[in-house]
Amino acid sequence: MDGCYGQVLTIDLDKRQWQVEAVAEDIQRTYLGGKGLATHLLWENNPAGVDPLAPENCLIFATGPATGSAVWGGCRYGVYTKSPQTGFYAESYSGGKVPEAMASTGYDAILIKGACDVPTALAIFPDRVVFHEAGDLWGQETYASEDAVLERFRRNDAGFKRPGAVVIGPAAEKGIRFGLLKNDHWRSAGRTGVGAVLGAKRVKGVLFQGDRRRPLHDEGALRAFAKRLMKESRDNPGVKAYKSMGTSQMVKIMNAAQAFPTRYWSMGTCPHWEAISADALHARCEVEPHACLKCFMACGRMTRVKEGPHAGLTIEGPEYETIYAFGGLCMIDSIEAIIYLNDICDRLGMDTITAGNLCAFTIEAVRRGRVDYAVDYGDAEGVASLLRLIAAREGIGAVLAEGLPHAAAHWGLEDIAVHVKGMEPAGYDPRPLKGMGLAYATSDRGACHLRATFYKPELAGMIDPRQVEGKAELFIDFEDRLTLFDTLILCRFYRDLYPWDDLREMLKALTGLDEDIPRLRQRAAAIATLTRRFNIREGLTPDDDRLPRKLHRRLEDSDLVVTEEEIGTMVQDYYRLRGWDQNGLPQPD
């Protein structure tokens, strides 16, 4: 089928062997690529109940029909596995330049199983896989590791595109359950601990390089489609906002909505929000917009700290989620200090959302006398020390490295621990935004804000944020459309630019599939149901589709609340509309 290579590469690290298998035409037509194909492969290949850090747990890289095409927002890759953080389905996505290098190897998906007996870097080319001994890189931080992998393991064949590499940092090497994958220095497949899975396989990095191009159904139509989108969207207010302020714009918006998580999920407004806002970032630092390939939105910020103890520090970021996690939850009131903490997490290779949540949780544990450690709200150096202890698994860090549910049980603080299925929510408090409560409760990968990005319709006035009845219908509309985004694979921030009709047109030009919108919804629903089946096979029960107790308590700075009954109603509506029973079980095919 057009839009797909029709090939999957399987690498067996135990045997140091690799093989290429054709993807049957009906599988291509059913699952397309990206999330669809990878979920099918995970379902077929992963042993039920496997330990996520065991060699048998498969890790799958995938690109989609849009990767490498002219489609704006199409420079993304996905990683899929069983999560060491949640014990359930894991997916994580990243952009930058690497996705095009990954796609140029000529595979729709690359499945890695087994484990190496010594630290190794893999180099994947269209005609072979090379195993390089990488003991000298073990222990190195992510930026240096990526540079080293690119420098040493590329192949200089004429016609090959520029290589790209994904790497892990010291945290993932040590099995920290929220160790991530880095590429292009600052881009991350950040959530669910996909880096820890690669670390358990003793793979320090993977280089991709090749010269292959997907067969596309109608390149002329795609170019015309891309040209029209650019013309129509140039003056779109959302595009302009992302380009001028990046995701840091959300600090002001969320604080105004009383949904900016503050003081470890106690408040929805932050007293120092202005000091950590987009305006502060752009006034206090040198900031340039920065984009992934094939993007005119350029939400990234190349940021250089101008003054103070961190003067000269340069990162791409900080993203809104990092600002909320350290600035809101941990009450750090300096944008430069947040950049500093962001840099530590990036170098060590840890997810900033989980890291910030764990640090704020530790502050609560200290304040309640459950743990003897010196850190408090607003204490940037204390938080920095804690991050380093976590990555090294030293002292209190060894407890936190196992994730929030483990630390909560260890300190007897389950009552205040904020997570769903073991993963902490992003920076959208569900008490003012009840649809985000539904999102956190039902997402397959834990408390995820991205599967439906439902803060968008709730903040934009498309639906009343307090509404409960009838909310699941619009939620599923968003979730299904974005499931197709993850299958093609497209950047989330293009969601307003690709409504259903555009998605339909794009799919036809990429693959030749000419389908109406109900059929596209069916496709997405089938992928959602397969993902659900995977989680049920791993032990998921309706009890996992709930919010933590703390999020059902009233916010301290407002009377906003979301009750268990309200979440229960939305979840039951969601199950019903998905065609699942009252326990969330899909019906037999």
- Residue 242: CB minimum distance to ligand SF4, A: 6
Secondary structure in 3-state letters for 120-175: EEEEECCCCEEEEECCCCCCCCHHHHHHHHHHHHCCCCCCCCCCEEEECCHHHHCC
**Nearer CB in complex with ligand SF4: 153/186:** 186
Give the separation between CA 376 and CA 410, rounded to whole angstroms: 20
**Nearer CB in complex with ligand SF4: 197/488:** 488
Site for ligand SF4 in 158-197 (CB under 6 A): none
**Nearer CB in complex with ligand SF4: 297/459:** 297
**Nearer CB in complex with ligand SF4: 373/493:** 493
Select the span of 103-111, 200-208, 256-264, 287-295 touching ligand SF4 (CB under 6 A). 287-295
Select the span of 297-305, 321-329, 353-361, 496-504 touching ligand SF4 (CB under 6 A). 297-305
| Residue 20 CB neighbours (<10 A) | 14
Select the span of 55-63, 154-162, 202-210, 296-304 touching ligand SF4 (CB under 6 A). 296-304
Give the separation between CA 37 and CA 508, rounded to whole angstroms: 18
Give the separation between CA 428 and CA 419, rounded to whole angstroms: 13
Whether the CB-CB separation of 92 and 192 falls below 8 Å is answered with yes
- Residue 51: CB minimum distance to ligand SF4, A: 33
| 292 near ligand SF4, judged by CB under 6 A | yes
| 300 near ligand SF4, judged by CB under 6 A | yes
Residue 92's H or E segment, with its range, is: strand 89-94
Select the span of 13-21, 289-297, 363-371, 434-442 touching ligand SF4 (CB under 6 A). 289-297
Select the span of 2-10, 291-299, 442-450, 550-558 touching ligand SF4 (CB under 6 A). 291-299
| 295 near ligand SF4, judged by CB under 6 A | yes
| 299 near ligand SF4, judged by CB under 6 A | yes
Task: List beta partners, residue 304.
Answer: 286, 314
3 state SS of 6: coil
- Residue 478: CB minimum distance to ligand SF4, A: 17
**Chain mean position to CA 240:** 24
151's tokens: 């420098």
- Residue 299: CB minimum distance to ligand SF4, A: 3
Q: What is the phi/psi pair of residue 420, to 5°?
A: -125, 125
Q: What is the phi/psi pair of residue 93, to 5°?
A: -130, 155
Give the separation between CA 62 and CA 214, rounded to whole angstroms: 13
Q: What is the phi/psi pair of residue 487, to 5°?
A: -90, -30
Give the separation between CA 119 and CA 173, rounded to whole angstroms: 9
Site for ligand SF4 in 66-95 (CB under 6 A): 73, 95
**Nearer CB in complex with ligand SF4: 295/527:** 295
Residue 355's H or E segment, with its range, is: helix 352-367
With CB under 6 A, what is the number of residues at the site for ligand SF4?
A: 12
Q: Mark 474-513 with x for binding to ligand SF4 (rule: CB under 6 A) and - for no binding.
A: -----------------x-x--------------------
Select the span of 15-23, 52-60, 288-296, 304-312 touching ligand SF4 (CB under 6 A). 288-296
Q: Of the candidates 37, 166, 280, 297, which one interacts with ligand SF4 according to CB under 6 A?
A: 297
| 238: exposed, middle or buried (Cβ count in 10 Å: 0-12, 13-18, 19+) | middle
Give the separation between CA 551 and CA 91, rounded to whole angstroms: 25
- Residue 64: CB minimum distance to ligand SF4, A: 14
**Nearer CB in complex with ligand SF4: 73/119:** 73
Site for ligand SF4 in 238-257 (CB under 6 A): 242
**Nearer CB in complex with ligand SF4: 95/349:** 95
3 state SS of 268: coil
**Nearer CB in complex with ligand SF4: 50/291:** 291
Give the separation between CA 139 and CA 367, rounded to whole angstroms: 34
- Residue 79: CB minimum distance to ligand SF4, A: 16
Whether the CB-CB separation of 538 and 544 falls below 8 Å is answered with no
Question: Which residues contact ligand SF4 by CB under 6 A?
Answer: 73, 95, 242, 291-292, 295, 297-300, 491, 493
